[in-house]
Amino acid sequence: MESKVDLIAKYDIPAPRYTSYPTVPYWSDSPDTETWLDQIRNSISAKDSKISLYIHIPFCETLCTFCGCNTSVTKNHSVEEPYVEHLLKEFSMYLDRIPEIRNTEINEIHFGGGSPTYLSEENLKQILSGILENVKVANEKSFAIEVDPRRTRKTQLETLREYGFRRISLGVQDFNPEVQRLINRDQPFEKTEFVTKTARDLGYDSVNFDLIYGLPRQTLSTMNYTIEKTLELVPDRIAFYSYAHVPWIKASQRLFTEADLPSGPEKRKLYESGRDAFERKGYKEIGMDHFALPTDSLWTSFLKGKLHRNFMGYTESKSDIQLGLGVSAISDAWTCFHQNEKILKKYQRKISEGSFPTLRGHILNEEDLAQRKLILDLATKWTVDLPKSQLDDVKSYLSTMEGDGLIEWKNENLRVTEKGKPFLRNICMALDLRMRRKSPDSKVFSQAI
Ligand SMILES: C[S@@+](CC[C@H](N)C(=O)[O-])C[C@H]1O[C@@H](n2cnc3c(N)ncnc32)[C@H](O)[C@@H]1O
Ligand code: SF4
């Protein structure tokens, strides 16, 4: 059996994170706007169907050099009002063309970014009132926001609580000042502590921290410090992301030197020190990158087999449609993906002209739908039952991983072992028929480790 370092050398290859299947570079059959609207109508026609809304706020006051998100960096807050107007107009265009949305329950709202708390209290209100006065809200709802603790005020959290927000995700990344300097993110512990405690006092009942391993000049000692400070604040969930280094897509990642990045085996050790510390404190590992306390709904949902994975990572359940509003937002009607224009000006221009800002998408064929379900099972349950027709092929693809003790078979059932958990992305690739037929034309995915 091979040592850990050899395994890392073997499996540290570019690999998708499988927040969708097909993965975005393999989207081919793009819907035109009318087809997209029909897809939504089909998805919400079923009785009791629910809509989950994703609202993208792209703005940040400063740029963190590691960042892979769709952002628009400016300290000039005059961008807020026009953006809010365009968002609301986009939603009203959906209501005009699909009046059924008014009678379909909204069970989730997720504010993502960028930094949603870039917006003033007044503008947050404008968006939420503008949407909520036109729809029905489910009794069991989950409203969540991603915040940058450096720029989050108590009054913003109060405003969101008034609209029923109870989940908050804080961008922490790393507590070490030198790492923070290199990623252009000066974030004293006290700011993170303030937002965490204020949110709890206001009645937010799930607090998530985003941490990243693999950042420039992170060492075991800096990582242990970050983990220790994190555990002091006892977040309910921890997203422990592997740093995705994609400088060919994100030029700002060239602003630090690659020599400062931990190597594959070093990066793995950072992950393991985090995982071990979280598990010692009672956190449970959930699929790729996530940990949750046993009291958190992400874990209870995993136990019930209801966990879902989408563009936002892991969620407690699957909605019939995830409707994305705002620049670059992605929607998912299960049988079809749809992404809005990624450039702010283009997005706003299209909306002003009264047209939907479709950039691209993908209509899933039967094979895609079947593979999507299999990959989702593996990514949310660590196990999947394969159809007989794929068994020989997948067994042969995974034979080396089986030899390395990363997976086990029981008839048609494939199970990821403890040792195999860090290699989940590699294992999912066995079911990714599109990628196995054709490697990507250019470098698109970050490394698996
Ligand atoms: C929209 S941001 C979170 C909210 C806020 N903008 C902030 O930074 O505090 C989403 C998260 O994506 C993660 N992220 C961004 N770029 C990444 C990268 N290149 N590799 C891994 N994770 C990344 C970070 O952990 C970040 O907190
Ligand atoms: S990490 Fe957050 S605050 Fe930093 S640039 Fe990215 S979205 Fe903006």
Model pLDDT, residue 44: 87
**How many CB atoms within 10 Å of residue 393?**
14
Q: Which ligand is nearest to the CA of 215?
A: 1
Q: How far is the CA of 114 from the centre of ligand 2 (A)?
A: 6
Residue 309 confidence class, pLDDT cut points 50, 70, 90: very high
Q: Which ligand is nearest to the CA of 63?
A: 2
Mean model confidence pLDDT for the chain: 94
Model pLDDT, residue 12: 79
Q: Which amino acid is at 264?
A: G
Pocket test for ligand 2, best of 56, 59, 69 (most atoms within 8 A of CB): 69
Cα 441 to Cα 198, 244, 247: the distances in Å are 48, 19, 17
CA atoms 231, 15, 245, 69: torsion sign: negative
* Rounded mean pLDDT, 158-175: 98
What structural domains and CATH numbers belong to the chain?
1-26+365-449 (1.10.10.920), 27-363 (3.80.30.20)
Q: Which ligand is nearest to the CA of 191?
A: 1
Model pLDDT, residue 1: 52
Q: What does the pLDDT look like over 104-154, one tens digit per residue?
A: 999 999 999 999 999 999 999 999 999 999 999 999 999 999 999 999 999
Cα 216 to Cα 28, 64, 158, 243: the distances in Å are 36, 12, 36, 10
Which numbered atom of ligand 2 lies nearest the CA of 185?
Answer: 4
Q: How far apart are the first and last CA of the chain?
A: 20
Nearest to 372 by CA among 27, 33, 40, 30: 27
Both tokens of 276, joined, read: 């071990």
Asked if residues 175 and 221 have their Cβ atoms less than 8 Å apart, the reply is: no
What is the C-alpha to C-alpha distance for residues 353 and 37, in angstroms, rounded to an integer? 18
Pocket test for ligand 2, best of 64, 72, 147 (most atoms within 8 A of CB): 64
Q: Which amino acid is at 100?
A: E
Nearest to 336 by CA among 308, 305, 303, 360: 360
* Residue-by-residue DSSP string for 229-279: HHHHT--SEEEEEEP---TTT-GGGGGS-GGGSPPHHHHHHHHHHHHHHHH
Q: How far is the CA of 143 from the centre of ligand 1 (A)?
A: 19
Among protein residues, the one with the nearest Cα to ligand 1's atom 3 is: 171
Q: What does the pLDDT look like over 342-385, one tens digit per residue?
A: 999 999 999 999 999 999 999 999 999 999 999 999 999 999 99
Residue 18 confidence class, pLDDT cut points 50, 70, 90: very high
pTM, two decimal places: 0.95
- Highest mean pLDDT out of 20-29, 114-123, 287-296: 114-123
What does DSSP assign to residue 387?
P
What does DSSP assign to residue 51?
E
